[in-house]
Amino acid sequence: MRTGKGRSEGQAFHRRLLSEYNTEITLENYVAYFELKPIAKSVEQLRKEIDEHTSLAAAVAAAAMLSSTSHEGTFGPMATTESDPALEEMMKKRHELEEKFFVELRASFVKVKKYLWQLEDDLLTRVHELEQLTEEEIRAMPDECIAKLYVKVQTILRYRSLNLAAFRKIMKKFMERCACDSLELQQRLMSIDETIFNSAIAQPRLDLRRIALDLIALYGTVYRLTYEETVAHLSHYEYRAGVNIRRILPHSDTFFFTLNFPHQERQGNFAARILSGSTSLFCEKMICEVLQCPRYPPCCNQFPNGEINVSLSRTLRGDDVFVLQSLVRCDHLGLSHSGTFMELALMLHTARLSSAARITAVIPYLAYADSVSSVAVVAELLEKMGCQHVITVDMSSEQVEGMFSVPLENISARYEFVRFIAKHLTNEGHDFRNITVVSPSGTSVSRAKYFADALMNYMKLSSAEQFVSVCTAVHRHPNLPPPPPVKSVSHRPCATDKPTATVTTTAASSATCQTSVPEENSSKQQEAQKSYSHSRAGTVLDLFSPPPRRVSPTQENASNTVAFVKALRQQEEGVSAICEDRADNPAQTDGVALVGDVKGRLCIIVDTTIDEAIKICRTAWKLHEAGASRIILIATHLILSAGAEERLVKSPIDLIVVTDSVNQDVVFKKPLFAQKLRLLPIAPLLARAIEKMHTENTLATLFEK
C-alpha cells in the first residue's frame, strides 16, 4: 500500500492524533479515527469467532464421518451440510460492520478533502491581499500579520500530513486484521488507497513551501532581518501560538529515556514480569517498549456481577514481578477507587500464590495519600497481600513513607518537567529572566524551592541576572458569621428551693429549668458568647457558675434527649453542610496573600495533584491580580474532579503541564482544555526505576523529590 504504516516514534497513534491536531480546526474536521477504530476492532473479533466456529464445526463433522465409517466399513455418500444459523448471523453482522467501515472511511475522505480546499483557498486570498500592499503599508500593520500567514501555511502542512497518517494507520490495521481472509476486501482497500494517493490530500494543489519561503523573504525585507533571524522570529511566534506543537511528548523525548540517560545497569539473573491492572494498560505497554521486554497478557477482568477476577495465563514462578496500577476511578470500566485497589490487591495475592521470587507494587498515583490514617490501612493491606516493595511517584506528603513497613521508593518526575520547561521557553525565545516558582500552599514550599534550583542547574543560569525566585501563596480562612444572640431568661423557681446555676439556652432547650445569671459573671458570659461557633451544636453553658442541682428526672431526661438528637443530626449533616457552605468561587482572592514579588514575572506554579483545582485557581487569579506576565501550572497527577476542568479553562493559567500517571486522554478531545494542556509520559521514569530494582542498582538518581 502506498499509504503504508510509517516508522514508530515511541508513541501510540491515537495519542499522536490527540497531541497534534489543531485545536482551532477541532477533531470533527479530521479523519474519524476514533469512530473507525472500534468498527475495525469489532470486525476483527467477529472474524476470529467465525474462524473458531468454522474450525469447531469441521472437527465435529470429521469425527462424525470417522464414526460412521467404522460402523459401515465403507465410505457412504457424503451427507449434505446443513446450514448453521449462528454462523450465518455472525457472517451477516460482519458484512454490515464492513460496509459501515467503508461508509465512514469515505465520509472522512470527503470531509478532509473539502476542508483542505477551504484552508488553501483562504490562504491564497490572504496572500494575494498581502501582495497588493506596499512596504510602508505592511510596516504600518501589526507585526504579526505576516507571522500569522506563515503559521497558517504550517497549519495546512500539518493538517495534510496528520490526516494522511490517520488514513495510513486505520487502513493498514484493517488490511492486516480484518481483510486477511478476504481477497475482495483487500482489493477494495487497494482501490481506496489509490484514490487517496491521487487526490488533493496526498498531491497538494499549491506549492506551500514556496509560499512559506516567500513569506520569510517578505518578513526579512520589511523588518530588515537576515534569513536566520527571520526564521527564528517566525519559529518563536509559531511556538508561542501553540496550535502546531505536540501536546503529548513521545517517550523518546523524555529525560529518562535510554538514549538520554547514560547510566549502564548490571544485568538481572532472573526474568522481570510486568503485570498491569485496568487503569495502567497503556503505561505498561510503553514501559515494556522502553525496556524492550515482552508484554504479559492482561490478567484482570470482571464477572457479570461486577466482582474482580485475576487470572494468569503464564507462570510467574521464580520471576521478579512488578504489579502496575494507579489507584484512580475508572468510569468507563465501572471501577471505583475501591475497585482499582481490589485489582491491585488480588494481583499481588495471585503473584504470591504463583511463587514469584519478588513482588513489587508500582503505583504511579497512590490514592488516600492525603490522610495518614487512611494510607496506613492501604499500606497494611498491600503488605498482607504479599507486597515486598513499593514504587510511587511524587506523593503529596512525606509522612506517608513512615506508614509502610516494606521499603517505599518515592521517585520524582521533577527533571522531566525541568527539561520540558527549559526546552519550551528556549523555543519561545525566552531569556530566562524574571522567573518565579510559586508554591500554592505553605506545605509545598520546599518542592518549589527544589524545582527552582533544578531549573537553574539544568540551564546553568546566572544567579545575578537570571535568578529564579520562589513565592508562596498563603490561604487565610474568612471570618465566620457572628453567632446568634444569646437570650437571657428571667428567674423562675425550680422544683427545688435551693438556688441553681444559670443556664443560657437556645429556644430548643427552653423546657429545662433556667435562672438568671449573676452580675459578676456577665463579662465571662460575653467571652463565652464570642467563642460560640455556629458549626457546633447544642447548648452554651455558663461554665463559670457552680453546677446545677438535679431537678426532676423527667425534665433532665427530656433535655438530654433533645440535645443528643440535635448532636446526631448535625453530625450526619456535617460533611454535606461543609461542602455546601464552602465558597466555590475560584476567582475569589480575598483570603489569598502572596509572599514574594511576582509583578511582571513568569510564574510557574508547582504542585503534586490537580484534583478540584480550587486552591490552584485562586492562586492563579491572585498572581494575575498581582501583575504576573504569564502563569504556567506544573503537577504530576491530573485527576480532574468536581468541575476542575471548567475552572482551569476559565483561569488565567496559560499552560498546564502534567504526566500520564492517570490516563486522561479523553480530555484532549476538548479543544479549549487541550489548547492549554501538555502531557509528559511517565513510562520512561518508571522503566528506569524498574530496571534499577531488577538489576539491584541504586535508585539515588531518581530520589529527587
User: Considering 213, 244, 275, which residue would you say is the last residue of a domain?
Assistant: 244
Number of helices (H), then strands (E), in the chain: 19, 14
Residue 251 lies in a domain: no
Q: Are residues 225 and 101 in the same domain?
A: yes
Q: Does 159 reside within a domain?
A: yes
pLDDT tops 60 at residue 559: no
Listed range (345-354, 358-367, 563-572) with the worst mean pLDDT:
563-572
* Residue 43 shares a structural domain with residue 172: yes
Q: Do 299 and 357 reside in the same domain of the chain?
A: yes
pLDDT of residue 206: 84
How far apart are alpha carbons 215 and 124 in whole angstroms? 12
Distance CA 144, CA 704 (A): 42
> Is the same domain home to 515 and 590?
no
Measured distance CA(477)–CA(178) in Å, rounded: 61
**Backbone CA torsion sign across 413, 416, 419, 424:** negative
pLDDT at position 263 is 47
pLDDT of residue 571: 52
Q: Do 399 and 421 share a structural domain?
A: no
**What pLDDT does 606 receive?**
92
pLDDT of residue 5: 43
In a domain, 496, yes or no: no
- How much of the chain, in percent, has pLDDT values that exceed 70? 78
Q: What is the pLDDT of residues 240-273, one digit of tens each?
A: 887 788 888 877 777 776 545 544 444 544 578 8
Considering the domain architecture, whether residues 168 and 227 belong to the same structural domain is answered as: yes
What does the pLDDT look like over 61-73, one tens digit per residue?
777 777 766 555 5
Question: Which residue type occupies 99?
Answer: E
Residue 483 has pLDDT above 60, yes or no: no
* Residue 253: inside a domain: no
Same domain? For 434 and 557 the reply is no
Average pLDDT, the chain: 78
Per residue in 161-181, pLDDT tens?
A: 999 999 989 999 898 888 888
**What is the rounded CA–CA span in Å between residue 44 and residue 424?**
42
The CB-side HSE value for 97 (13 A sphere, CA atoms) comes to 22
Determine whether 517 is exposed, middle or buried from the number of CB atoms within 10 Å of its CB (0-12, 13-18, 19+). buried
Mean predicted confidence (pLDDT) in 610-636 = 89
Neighbours of 317 (CB within 10 A): 8
In 372-515 the beta strands, taken as DSSP E runs, fall at: 389-393, 408-411, 435-439, 469-475
pTM of the model: 0.73
Residue 390 dihedral angles phi and psi, to the nearest 5°: -130, 135
- Of the pLDDT bands very low, low, confident and very high (cuts 50, 70, 90), residue 100 is very high
User: How many structural domains comprise the chain?
Assistant: 4
Is 704 within the bounds of a domain?
A: no
Residue 109 is predicted with a pLDDT of 92
Average pLDDT for 122-127? 90
Nearest to 507 by CA among 522, 481, 485: 485
Q: Which three cell numbers stand for residue 467?
A: 535568578
CATH number for the domain including 328? 3.40.50.2020
- Classify residue 499: in a domain, yes or no: no
Residue 484 within any structural domain of the chain: no
What single string gives the DSSP state of each residue in 668-693? GGSHHHHTTEEEE-SHHHHHHHHHHH
**C-beta separation of 483 from 532 below 8 A:** yes
Same domain for 693 and 561?
Answer: no
The answer to whether residue 148 is domain-embedded is yes
Q: Give the C-alpha separation, 367 to 580, whole Å.
A: 24
- Examine the fold and report which residue of 581, 600, 621 is the final residue of a domain before the chain moves on: 581
Reading the block at residue 461, the C-alpha cell is 543560569
Task: Inform me whether the pLDDT recorded for 451 exceeds 80.
Answer: yes
Tell me which of 535, 550, 581 is where a domain ends. Answer: 581
* 98 lies in the same domain as 33: yes
Residue 322 has pLDDT above 90, yes or no: yes
Give the pLDDT score at 362.
93
Assigned C-alpha cell, 156:
495546512
For residue 448, the enclosing domain spans 415-477+586-680
* 479 confidence band (pLDDT: 50, 70, 90): low
Q: Is the pLDDT of residue 519 over 80?
A: no
Task: Give the C-alpha separation, 29 to 147, whole Å.
Answer: 24
pLDDT at 69: 65
Structural element, H or E, at residue 430: none
Lowest mean pLDDT among 56-60, 213-217, 680-684: 56-60
How much of the chain exceeds pLDDT 90, in percent?
Answer: 14
199 and 118 in one domain? yes
- Does residue 425 share a domain with residue 339? no
Q: How confident is the model at residue 481 (pLDDT cuts 50, 70, 90)?
A: low
Whether residue 159 sits in one domain with residue 43: yes
